[in-house]
Structure formats: structure tokens, C-alpha cells
Chain A
Amino acid sequence: MILLKTTKLMKAFGGLIAINKIDIEVPRGEIRGIIGPNGSGKSTFFNLISGVYDPDLGSYIEFDGHDITNEPAHEIGALGLARTFQLLRLYQDMSVINNVMSGYHTRVSYSFTEAVLGRKKIWDKEKEIKDEMMELLSFVGLADFAEMNASELSGGQRRLLVLARAIASKPKLLMLDEPAAGLSPHNVDNLMKIIIQLKDKFGLTLIIIEHILKVVMDTCDAVTVFDHGQKIAEGTPAKVKDDNAVIEAYLGKKMNDDEMRKALAV
């Protein structure tokens, strides 16, 4: 079953074609990696799918059976597509727990009128939400920081926080833009465990943009390679690693075993 599908996805910024006729199919339950050199269009691809940018005419995006090509971002989010941003975009001036709880937005079950009247039911529900989100914070290892301001977190902790915020909506598809950038080796391992758990325990489908090859090779079921806005290769991590075009575009040159080992060791 295909969860996400794009056909002839196109986006030009002025004369620059950032995404050039990309066709992708991501089946349910898969972890898909996206790799490619800087400026190859990976983040733009996420922005098109999640509705931050409108794709150019002729593009088509389907998510979970819905045509989302020209849907606004919040509708796409409500359909069960969550994402993180390369530049994080966390809510600096809000507590860590409020950051995560705002990710819960689409799942809130009480109505606006009920909220205005401030019924006890709401307070109970809010407490339930808070408890669940505290659990989520422990899951990513941030429970001790719940009441802190998000701006007080370290760079690596912020990355974990935006991950938690995206998971909070219980999405069907989770798209992570360089989740491991700036994490310490220990936390990279942690992140990989989290990613695997999200798939195995919660049945999530994930798309991960990542430059750290080790993460891609060890967690992804399949990898798509971008270069200059085009898809130049696709397949299992092992297959992609040996693809000549990929090696030229991304890895620069064919590496011997020793260099490869180095590149994969974070």
C-alpha cells in the first residue's frame, strides 16, 4: 500500500529548478532515506509535500488516498502528515511541555465552546494530554526539562524537542529534515533507536533527510538520492551505496573500504 506518492513534482524559484519532475512512492511502514548534496532540493521536497510551498503546475501529490497537491499546510497536517524543519522552528518562548502539547492540536477532542466555558471535563482532558505528552518527553529523553523555556535547551535537545512535537500528533507519515545534525554520537544512537521504535512499535512511516550516512544505512529500508533537483538513484541502502552516479554526485569519488568505514562511523 502506497502512503505517499508524487508524480512530476516540480518547483522552480525564478530560473532555478529546485525540484525537477520527481516521482516517488513511499509504501506504508517504510523508512525512506533521502540523501543528496547541499542544495539538491531535499528540503524543498519536504516543503512542497507539507504545503509550505505550492508546487508548480503539472505536479501531483497524493497522501493516504487524498490529493494534497494544493491543500493548505494545516489541512495536510490534519490528515496525519507531520514534519520537522531543518532550521527547527521550535517555539522559543514557550515551555518545553507546551511546545509538545501544541503538536497535539489536531487530536484535541473538546470543542471551542467547551473550552470557553472552562468545564471540569476540559481540565481533566488537559491533564490527560499533559500526562501523555510527558511520557513522550521521557521517550525522547527530555522529561526533566518539561517546565523550562524551549530557548534554554541546548542545540541537540532542541532537535529532540521538535522530533517530539512532530510525534505528538500521532501522524501516519513523519518527515524528518536532518534529525541527527549536531547530535552527539550517543544521541545519534539514541535517535536511531527512537526511529526504529517509531516504525516497529507505532507503525509509523518515515522519510528522513540525513547527511550522516550511518543513520541512513542502518535505519532506512530504502534510499532515494537527489542531485540538482532530480532523482538520480533509488533502492536499498546497500545498492545505492555502490551506484556509480551516487558516488560521483554525493560521495565525490569511489571510496576504498577503509574510507567507507570512516564515513559510516559518523
Chain B
Amino acid sequence: MEKFKEIIRQYPFVGFIIAFLVLMAVPSIFFTDIYQSHLASLICINIIVAAGLNIVKGYCGQVTVGHVGLYAVGSYTAGCMFMYLGSDLWLTLPAAIIVTAFFGVIMGVPSLRLEGPYLALATLGGAEAIRLFIENGEFFGSTYGISNISQPVIFGMAFDTPDKYYYIAMPIMLIAVYFSFSVLKSSVGRAFMAIREDQISAAASGINVKKYKLLAFILSAMFAGAAGAVYAHFPPGYIHPNNYTVIEMITFLAMVVLGGLGHIWGGIIGAVVITIVYDITRPLYQYQLFIFGLTIVFTILFMPKGIGGFIDKYFIDKRFKKKKTEDKK
């Protein structure tokens, strides 16, 4: 077991390959109807968003409420490319990532001057502007949305139902999480955290605060863009401006807050929990904003470190105990 742990530590992608194999097997073992596959795919998409949001909000400490706008950009890049060019996911996905990265720069520029609630307002304005632009643009299908966006086909096999699409969304999610893991566990992640904690100290340590803030926005935008594209092609392949409102933004925020800001695994668990609750409470849609708003408030008040905090505490306690027994010997 120790040896196995050491291998994972040295070659983290081995861990991801194992996760891949396990997640490949999950549907056939556990899922009983197509709704569960539908939910599992949605969870994967939301994990991608949460992983990105965690970079800019959790690690870099930038209060952005505009992420849903970037998600919309990803979706509509994919949707429009399908509508006008007939492109499939393998083309729209990289395109959405690049286009959204560009929008990430725009979303990030206010962070060079604004902080806290002012930055939140600026980014919220950005997201709403994007949504209204889409809603009022004939080019984007305005209030009709874009429908029948194609599903990917591999070797003649169409992934055109939710239970099949899971096998598309899940690996993309794993790759995204792997990237976020690699970045955040490197000096780049430390620079983000330093900026979150104290910008003047960070600069004194030679960290280019402006550059890294923009980098955080760009990276997180790329995740949102990828998730948006995967969502656009998600069967039945229908996107509508109403899928990108403040409610969705609050659910994204709830994921990272509940999971524990700045905690990679916590954010993933948060995405799983919130996606399920979101889907269950869909009939009560008029209360959803309330439910997730309260979730955020209560988490911040009563467990500011979120689920991730408990995970950390568990491991620290365990290590502490182990050390104690070793000391006794």
C-alpha cells in the first residue's frame, strides 16, 4: 500500500488512469435508468466548471460572479459552429476553449483595479451583458436557443443518448481535473495563493501579480469554455439563454464554496452534491436561488473551509496520530 501511494505521488496520472477505469465501470454496475446517466454527465460538466472556478476564486482569491457568462461563451461557440459550419464536438471543443480564453482576458481586466464586491459587480455585469447579447442576437438564435446540436461519433458509434454521452463527458472531465491538479500543485498554484493572501508580499517575492491574476482568469475561462461546449453537445443538444442566468452562477459558486475554496477534491465533491440537489429541486425552481444562496451563506458561516476542510482535517489528524505512535516507539 505504501509503495502504491509512492507511485501515485510520483506519477499522478497513474491515479487518473485508475479513476478513469473505475468511472468507466460505474454505469454498468450502479445505474438503473437513463436519468442517472443524464445526471452523471451533468455532474462531469459541472466538475469542469467548478475546477476552473476554483482556480480563479479558490486559489487566486478573485471574487468573480461572471463565470456563467464564460460558460455561455463556450456553449454558444460550440452551438454556432455547429449551426453555421456543421462542426462536431472535436472541433467545437478546442475552438470554445480558445474563444472563451479570450473572453477570460476581458473578464479578468477589471481585477487589475477592482477588488471584492466591486469586482463581483463588474464580472456580474460582464456575464449579464453576454447573456443579453445572446438573447437579443438573431445570429445566436436569440430566445429560441439552438437545438439539435450534434453528438460526437467515434468509429461509427454515435454518443447520442445520455448514457452514451457519459463516456464522452467523463474522460474530458478527468483530463480537465488533471490539468487543474498539475497547475495548482506547481509554483503557479502557489503564486495564485500568495496573491489571494497578500498581494504586496507576493510582489515582493517576485510574483507578477497582474500577470498571474490574468492567467488565473484565462485558465478558469478555458475550463468554463470546455464545459460549455460539452454541455452544448449534451443530448438532446439544446442550449438556451435561460441556462446561463444568475441562478446557474449561484450554483457554480455553491459548488466551490461548499467544497471548500482552494481545495481541489472538495470542489469536485461540491459539484457532485450541488448538481444532484439542483436536479432534484428543479420542480421548485422558484426557490432554487434561495436554496443555493442559503447553502453558500451557511457554509461560509458555519464551515468556512467547506467539505475540503474536513478532508484536510482527517488527514492531518491521521498523520498526527501516526507520528505520535511512532514517537512512542
Using a CB–CB cutoff of 8 Å, the interface residues on chain A facing chain B are 50-52, 72-74, 77-78, 82-83, 85, 89-94, 98, 101-106, 108, 110, 112, 115-118, 120, 122-123, 126, 129, 147, 165, 169
Contact = CB atoms under 8 A, between A and B. Distances in A.
Interface stretch (B4-12, B25-33, B75-83, B135-143): B4-12
Contacts of A110: 186-187
Contacts of B202: 74, 102
Given A74-B204, A118-B181, 9 more contacts: A74-B208, A83-B204, A93-B196, A94-B193, A106-B205, A106-B206, A112-B188, A118-B179, A147-B316
Interface of B: 9-13, 178-179, 181-183, 185-188, 190-191, 193-194, 196-198, 200-209, 262, 316, 319
A74 B210 CA distance: 10
B216 to A, nearest CB: 12
Contacts of A117: 182
Given A92-B197, A115-B188, A102 B182 contact: no
Given A91-B194, A94-B193, A118-B13, A77 B182 contact: no
Contacts of A169: 205-206
A120 B203 contact: no
A94 B204 CA distance: 17
A101 B181 contact: no
6 contacts: A73-B200, A77-B207, A93-B262, A94-B193, A110-B187, A126-B185
A147 B197 CA distance: 17
Contact of A77 (B12, B183, B204): B204
A163 B127 CA distance: 43
B207 A98 contact: no
A123 B7 CA distance: 12
A201 B245 CA distance: 60
A69 to B, nearest CB: 17
A104 to B, nearest CB: 7
A138 B182 CA distance: 28
Given A98-B193, A102-B194, A82 B187 contact: no
B207 A105 contact: yes
A103 B191 CA distance: 9
Contacts of A103: 205
Contacts of A94: 193-194, 197
A51 B203 contact: yes
